Structure 1
Amino acid sequence: MDMTGWQAGRIGQDTGRPAAEGLFRDFAQALRYWRARRGYSQLRLSAESGISQRHISFLESGRSQPSRELILRLGNALDMPLRQRNAMLLAAGFAPAYRERSLTDPELAAVRRALDFMLTQQAPYPALVVDRLWNLVMLNQPARRLMGWLLNLAPGQALPTEGVNVIRLMLDAHGIRPCLPNWQEVCADLLHWVQREAMADGPGSEATRLLESLLALPGVRQAARAVNPDSHALPFMTVTLHKGDTELRLFTTIATMGTPRDVTVHELRIESFFPADAGTAAWFQAQVCPDGASA
């Protein structure tokens, strides 16, 4: 199978560059954006941050310039993602406060071991680790086997862990979409995650570019508009996979790392798949292999 089509959609996770892009002209614009994003009045932000309303007004108008410590306090009060706190610091002329290490960095070895453990424990069911833009970082063997089967990969042709955007893989007509009878419902749910990141990052960001590229896929924009999220009877959305005589029904959980101080760690998502019915559970049990190890 030609994998170049859906691999080309990978955006983000570039190495060797700062942990945040300068998405704002200056600090005042960044502060106004994030206060509005959180729906805070200047009075509410003053109460949350311990900074006077008058000073916040001066900061937003550009009449006052912030210190590094004040920016970090505001970032905490506004519950901003670490990447966006770095962006606000950059907008004010300061260096980023939070590093963005590679997961292969020796300082993140304990994180890598924890992820390996969680992926292995999820067997015989699939599990993935993705970044905030759903670029694939790690996956366990059940996930690798499932994707290889759905994508008709040739024997010995492994799904790469680099260059794959999981959402594009699901929604691209050359990816898993032909195996998704309820792909429109899945589409609306997946786009929600990217839209949330795009709203947080603002215009011109990596998340915005990813969203635009996904909406440009044939049928995706129309599918997202057609779904009525209030019409479902189940308490969770199932992902239905159909190939040949096999139909699998799965639901997912998403976990994050606690108390992160690194941009990479803060943005990791562990998506675990569980069977929604006994037939799906039996199918995965039959696929068990002795190692069950993660990639």
Structure 2
Amino acid sequence: MSAPNQSSQDVANGHFSSLLKHWRNVRRLTQIELAVDANVSAKHLCFLETGRSQPSREMVQLLGSALDLPLEERNALHVAAGFVPPYSDKGLAADNLQPVQQALDFILRQQEPYPAIVIDGRWDIRMRNQGSARLLKPFRDSYEMAAGLADNAMHVVFHPKGLRQFIVNWDEFAGQLIQILHRDVAQGSRAAAQLLGEIMAYPGLSAEWRLPRQASASAPVMTMHLAKGDFHLAFFSTFTILAMPMDAALQQIKIECFFPADDATAEKARQLAL
């Protein structure tokens, strides 16, 4: 039993050989398959996984690409091999990303009068448009959550005193949403893995949600029905990501745009925008 524990500790400590083997197993590749994908010899890959050989910077980059790792994990692989991480991790805070900020502002404005938000890799809401503020205000005013949690899209949906209490189809909607978080974890997001643990600590969640599964094919889109007294809304949403970002934090940015799922919601959005 000691070998698996040691391996897990090696991964946590960022040892390159264990980290490489960990991600190869996550991607369900044999050494030969990864060697072919990376255009290296299976013998050399074996030596890298056992620690008998040390990789060059170019080899680390090649393996990270062959494993299709997110940029934050490629950085971790470089650090484990003793190299400076090649990708910045400043996201929207970077001084040179003003054009990205302007593009996000433009997308949010174009979504009016319907809601739109920008979320990061931990599902924290970084930006929102006026449509989001107007339409969700009646619900947000009733949240009984810590300020930090109230600005996290996942916590808002799953917290018993958040939006969850107003989602009419919460079991169906939350069951599908948790699978999106599982996919983020499967792609290698450490932030998503931590968030998943926090979410699953809430009461009233199905034990089945602890494991990833195929999303239901019963409906073409995921719809959220909200109700507070006589105030009713129904939305479906889309996610947009930035193409080919070279910043680890920016790679995890998602833009979620909400669209009315019925005429009554569309009319309510137009009326509140006047």
TM-score (norm 1): 0.81
Counterpart amino acid of 1:98?
A: Y
Asked if residue 242 in structure 1 is aligned to residue 231 in structure 2, the reply is: no
Deviation at 1:24, TM superposition (A): 4.4
In the other structure, the counterpart of 2:27 is: 38
In the other structure, the counterpart of 1:267 is: 252
Contact 1:187 1:224 survives alignment (8 Å): no
Which structure features the higher share of helix residues?
2
Picking from 146, 164, 178, the partner of 1:191 is 178
Deviation at 1:37, TM superposition (A): 1.5
In the other structure, the counterpart of 1:165 is: 152
1-structure distance, mates of 2:184, 2:260:
28
2-structure distance, mates of 1:153, 1:239:
18
Paired-residue identity, %? 36
Q: Please, which runs of 5 or more residues in structure 1 have no aligned partner?
A: 1-21, 155-159, 290-295
Change over 3 Å in CA distance of 1:102–1:47 after alignment to 2: closer
Change over 3 Å in CA distance of 1:231–1:86 after alignment to 2: closer
SS at match of 1:129: strand
In the other structure, the counterpart of 2:66 is: 77
Matches of residues 1-295 of structure 1 in structure 2 within 5 Å? Answer: 23-152=12-141, 164-201=151-188, 205-222=190-207, 224=209, 230=216, 232=218, 234-289=219-274
SS at match of 2:93: coil
Q: How many pairs does the alignment contain?
A: 260
Q: Which moved more, 1:80-89 or 1:35-44?
A: 35-44
Q: Which moved more, 1:266-275 or 1:179-188?
A: 179-188
SS at match of 1:220: coil
1-structure distance, mates of 2:214, 2:53:
47
Contact 1:46 1:53 survives alignment (8 Å): yes
SS at match of 1:254: strand
Deviation at 1:102, TM superposition (A): 4.4
Q: Please, which runs of 5 or more residues in structure 2 have no aligned partner?
A: 1-10
Change over 3 Å in CA distance of 1:162–1:141 after alignment to 2: farther
1-structure distance, mates of 2:26, 2:13:
14
2-structure distance, mates of 1:192, 1:91:
30
Deviation at 1:209, TM superposition (A): 2.5
Deviation at 1:36, TM superposition (A): 1.4
Q: Point out which structure has higher relative CO (alpha carbons under 8 A, 6+ apart).
A: 1
Contact 1:128 1:136 survives alignment (8 Å): yes
Counterpart amino acid of 1:121?
A: Q
Give the ranges of 4+ consecutive aligned residues of structure 1 lying more than 6 Å apart after TM superposition: 160-163
1-structure distance, mates of 2:124, 2:163:
15
2-structure distance, mates of 1:93, 1:269:
31
SS at match of 1:103: helix
- After superposition, the C-alpha distances for 1:40-64 in whole angstroms (9 at most, x for unaligned) are 2222212211111111111111111
Q: Which moved more, 1:110-119 or 1:273-282?
A: 273-282
Counterpart amino acid of 1:175?
A: G
TM-score (norm 2): 0.86
- After superposition, the C-alpha distances for 1:14-56 in whole angstroms (9 at most, x for unaligned) are xxxxxxxx84441111111111111222222122111111111
Deviation at 1:112, TM superposition (A): 0.2
